[in-house]
Structure 1
Amino acid sequence: MKRKDFITLIWISLATSLFFFFVFTDEKNIEGFLFTILISSMYSFVLGIGNGLLNDFLNKKFPWSETTTKRAVISIVSILIINIILVYFCNYMNFVVFQKSATTEEYFSGKYNYANWFTINIALLISAFLHAKNFMEELKKTSKKEVVEQKLIAKSANAQFESLKNQLDPHFLFNSLNVLSSLIDENPNQAQKFTASMSKIYRYVLEQKDKELVTVEDEIEFAKTYCDLLKTRFEDSVDFVFDVKKEDYRLFVVPLSLQLLLENCIKHNFATSSKPLNIKIFSENGTLCIENNLQVREQIKESSGIGLANIVQRYSLLTKRNVFIEKSEDYFKVKLPVLESKPNVINIKTENNDMAYERAQKRVKEIKSFYGNLISYCIVIPFLVILNLITSPKSLWFYFPMLGWGIGVVAHGMSVFAMGKNWEEKKIREILEKQNKK
């Protein structure tokens, strides 16, 4: 327990002692007042510290944020047991030890059952209020923590995606300039045409680099233009075949993925007129494939693998479907998943997350509503009990609102924690399954 909790218990002890001293004590003197403070402090500190230690223990073993339903059930049972024990102890100390109004045998014979029962009810109400207050505090902390975590995740994903996209410009430009540099020496006229075509291609790069996905049709058209540039340089040494199904044209792929894979084909394989490099782009089982015959070029420096790694990482941020790579002695193939929807990087699986968030938000409202009801019960009922005992102690009418409202609180708790929406969802699924079978 914290320091502020002890200060709160001191104020509760003082307020309770003043109330009982001026309302129920016949002889109002210093000794009577000090004795009332002693008794009130005993009840306040024994019950307060006992429930506080219980609450701290349950928070460590069964946190509200992780096991809400289990924690609620364990809290109810443990609160009931611990408060019965503490109340019997406090009443024993009060009536047997301090006031000496009864012996131990008389106390346990049932003479003080009514006093014990009444005190237990008051203790349970106050304890339930404190545990509900703790739940609301934990819920608030958890909500803030989750909001911060989600913001960090979103920022991290966004930064990662931006970093991956920024690799495209220098990578593409570097390779294009290498091609242009070769053409300037080999064929200046072709170099001029290449420069004009490269400007068109680079415009596409600039237009598409900020997009998460582009249509297969756009990517194929861009790839064909890029292949024309490669044919300009390599002529008969490279051959391109496009065999993509028309129905796949409206699906989506990662932008510039084909361009990066075409670059890899040229970079890692040699191509001559006697041994041309055959590159084929085609559809296969929900994927867009690029395949080339394997003619591995000897390289002094090991490849960094930026192009292929870039594609794999960008796909991992957008979908659970993987990029597949097949390699044999004769060919090398990369399979790119084609996607039916166009998600947003920041909100990965937005629809599912939104639905889950709405359900969680509704669940939190239900739990808050129950604890609001419980807190109101814990505040109003003790007030009615005290009012009844002061105004008409011989006619105990507080039982009716306490029992009636108590049954309502229990039913409310059952609907939130025991049955709730799970029961409704199960029933809905059962009815739908029966209708589908018909």
Structure 2
Amino acid sequence: MKKYLTIILVGFLLGMLTYGFLGFAQEEDNTKLLWLSGLLGVIIAYINTIFNELFNKFISWKKYTGFRLLTGVLSNTIISFLLISIVLYGYTFVKDTPNSFIEDYSEIILKLIILMFFMALVYNVIYFAIHSYYQYAKGQIIALQLERKQTELQLRALKSQLSPHFLFNSMNTISSLVFSDVQKAESFIRELAKSYQYILNKYESKWLTVEEELQFVNSYHFLLQTRFNDRINLEIVLPDWVLKSKIPPLALQMLIENAVKHNQMTSSQILKISITCDNSDICVTNNKTARPEGIDSFKIGLGNIRSRYELIFNRAITVVDDERFTVKLPVII
């Protein structure tokens, strides 16, 4: 509504200014002509606005600033000149002097062309400034929205790691180790502390290197091995260049956690997880064992990782669910 009121006000004002500039003040019934000129100004302002919005769809101000400005100035000048000329010709026709239109109004036509050009130039410069400001403001709002969504996803990932179920299992493991293997219990507590320190330090980061993430994965794997002994096996084979690539924090760990959550582990059913690379993706693969009953899930997992890759890197992950379960994370350099 504010936009259209501005168009009406500016168009009406420019119409009346154009009327005065072209020297119609001596005409009879100039009050009526003044109002008609204001109305014509509103119509021209609307038409030029429609054309400018149409040009914005096909010609980017950001990429082709000069060309877009030239297009706007020329089109607005031509449109305004043609509409006013048609109205002037109609006015002379009503006065029964159409044959002398060029002669009688040659000076006015020249003044009209000059006036329309400078008005179009000023209008498009102001339009560009306002358009740039709104695009910048819109970009800032989108950036804040994305940042907020990213924070929400990171907090959901953190919630997964701080879950009572995970803490309960860890405390039970420590309790049993204290009486059977004090040294191993000490190592477990140290790795658990390192895991939580990593989570608290890194969960706010949008991304980190694969090498940093693997440090946490190794600590997490130690905790799992302590709980499940030889019933879980993790193999990591990644080239050096992949270690320097980017990854959302907790992504690899969450995939390992999902594998543990959705597969039973016994002496005859060993869970084997591998982290490898196929040039374009980091592949996290696990075999399938019997599915445990009553799986407790916060419904994050793959959805959380997928959303963060799309949000941060504008890339998609791939899930292959056949004889083995594989999640492919794009390598981000």
TM-score between both structures, scaled by the size of structure 1: 0.62
Matches within 5 A, 1:344-423: none
> SS of 1:187's equivalent?
helix
Give the Cα separation in 1 of the matches to 2:270 and 2:214: 22
> Which amino acid in the other structure matches residue 57 of structure 1?
I
> SS of 2:162's equivalent?
helix
* Aligned partner (choices 242, 251, 254) of residue 257 of structure 1: 251
Is the 1:46–1:90 Cα contact (8 Å) retained in structure 2? no
* Aligned partner (choices 130, 136, 145) of residue 156 of structure 1: 145
The answer to whether structure 1 residue 173 and structure 2 residue 174 are counterparts is no
Is the 2:160–2:298 Cα contact (8 Å) retained in structure 1? no
> Which amino acid in the other structure matches residue 212 of structure 1?
K
Task: Show the counterpart of 2:4.
Answer: none
The answer to whether structure 1 residue 49 and structure 2 residue 39 are counterparts is yes
Give the CA deviation at 1:205. 1.9
> SS of 2:268's equivalent?
coil
Task: Show the counterpart of 1:335.
Answer: 328
* Aligned partner (choices 98, 120, 125) of residue 109 of structure 2: 120
* Aligned partner (choices 265, 269, 273) of residue 271 of structure 1: 265
> Which amino acid in the other structure matches residue 138 of structure 1?
Y
**Kindly, what percent of the aligned residue pairs are identical?**
22
Task: Show the counterpart of 1:390.
Answer: none
1:115-141 superposed Cα distances (whole Å, 9 cap, x missing partner): 221121122333334444443443343
> Which amino acid in the other structure matches residue 53 of structure 1?
I
Give the Cα separation in 2 of the matches to 1:185 and 1:150: 53
Aligned residues: 311
Give the CA deviation at 1:5. 5.7
Given the superposition, is the C-alpha separation of residues 120 and 202 from structure 1 closer, same or farther in structure 2, using an over 3 Å criterion? same
Is the 2:16–2:38 Cα contact (8 Å) retained in structure 1? no
Given the superposition, is the C-alpha separation of residues 302 and 239 from structure 1 closer, same or farther in structure 2, using an over 3 Å criterion? closer
Is the 1:47–1:83 Cα contact (8 Å) retained in structure 2? no
Greater alpha carbon shift after TM alignment, 187-196 vs 114-123:
187-196
Is the 1:180–1:191 Cα contact (8 Å) retained in structure 2? no
Is the 1:214–1:255 Cα contact (8 Å) retained in structure 2? yes
Given the superposition, is the C-alpha separation of residues 50 and 156 from structure 1 closer, same or farther in structure 2, using an over 3 Å criterion? same
> Which amino acid in the other structure matches residue 270 of structure 1?
Q
Give the CA deviation at 1:284. 1.8
Task: Show the counterpart of 1:287.
Answer: 281
Given the superposition, is the C-alpha separation of residues 243 and 66 from structure 1 closer, same or farther in structure 2, using an over 3 Å criterion? closer
1:237-287 superposed Cα distances (whole Å, 9 cap, x missing partner): 112222222332222222222211111111111001122111112222232
Give the CA deviation at 1:45. 4.6
1:21-68 superposed Cα distances (whole Å, 9 cap, x missing partner): xxxxxxxxxxxxxxx363655665555533431331232355264465
> Which amino acid in the other structure matches residue 333 of structure 1?
T
Task: Show the counterpart of 2:84.
Answer: 83
Task: Show the counterpart of 2:62.
Answer: none
Given the superposition, is the C-alpha separation of residues 321 and 273 from structure 1 closer, same or farther in structure 2, using an over 3 Å criterion? same
TM-score between both structures, scaled by the size of structure 2: 0.79
> Which amino acid in the other structure matches residue 49 of structure 2?
N
Give the CA deviation at 1:220. 2.2
Is the 1:87–1:119 Cα contact (8 Å) retained in structure 2? no
Task: Show the counterpart of 2:8.
Answer: 2
Give the Cα separation in 2 of the matches to 1:162 and 1:152: 15
Given the superposition, is the C-alpha separation of residues 301 and 204 from structure 1 closer, same or farther in structure 2, using an over 3 Å criterion? closer
> Which amino acid in the other structure matches residue 309 of structure 2?
Y
Given the superposition, is the C-alpha separation of residues 309 and 85 from structure 1 closer, same or farther in structure 2, using an over 3 Å criterion? closer
* Aligned partner (choices 127, 133, 138) of residue 144 of structure 1: 133
Is the 2:19–2:37 Cα contact (8 Å) retained in structure 1? no
Is the 2:273–2:284 Cα contact (8 Å) retained in structure 1? yes
Give the CA deviation at 1:216. 2.1
> SS of 1:281's equivalent?
strand
Task: Show the counterpart of 2:228.
Answer: 234
Q: CA RMSD in A?
A: 3.2
> Which amino acid in the other structure matches residue 2 of structure 1?
I
Give the Cα separation in 1 of the matches to 2:169 and 2:48: 69
1:117-168 superposed Cα distances (whole Å, 9 cap, x missing partner): 1121122333334444443443343223212211110100111111111123
- Structure 2 unaligned residues grouped into runs of 5+: 1-6, 59-67
* Aligned partner (choices 316, 320, 327) of residue 326 of structure 1: 320
Give the CA deviation at 1:109. 4.8
Task: Choose 1 or 2 for highest CA Rg.
Answer: 1
Is the 1:237–1:276 Cα contact (8 Å) retained in structure 2? yes
Give the Cα separation in 2 of the matches to 1:277 and 1:231: 11
Give the Cα separation in 2 of the matches to 1:217 and 1:292: 21
Give the Cα separation in 1 of the matches to 2:37 and 2:217: 76
Give the Cα separation in 2 of the matches to 1:77 and 1:4: 19
The answer to whether structure 1 residue 193 and structure 2 residue 168 are counterparts is no
Give the Cα separation in 2 of the matches to 1:15 and 1:271: 89
> Which amino acid in the other structure matches residue 163 of structure 1?
E
Given the superposition, is the C-alpha separation of residues 10 and 152 from structure 1 closer, same or farther in structure 2, using an over 3 Å criterion? closer
Give the CA deviation at 1:11. 7.4
Give the Cα separation in 2 of the matches to 1:218 and 1:13: 71
Given the superposition, is the C-alpha separation of residues 72 and 240 from structure 1 closer, same or farther in structure 2, using an over 3 Å criterion? same
* Aligned partner (choices 202, 205, 210) of residue 204 of structure 2: 210
Given the superposition, is the C-alpha separation of residues 53 and 147 from structure 1 closer, same or farther in structure 2, using an over 3 Å criterion? same
Give the CA deviation at 1:217. 2.1
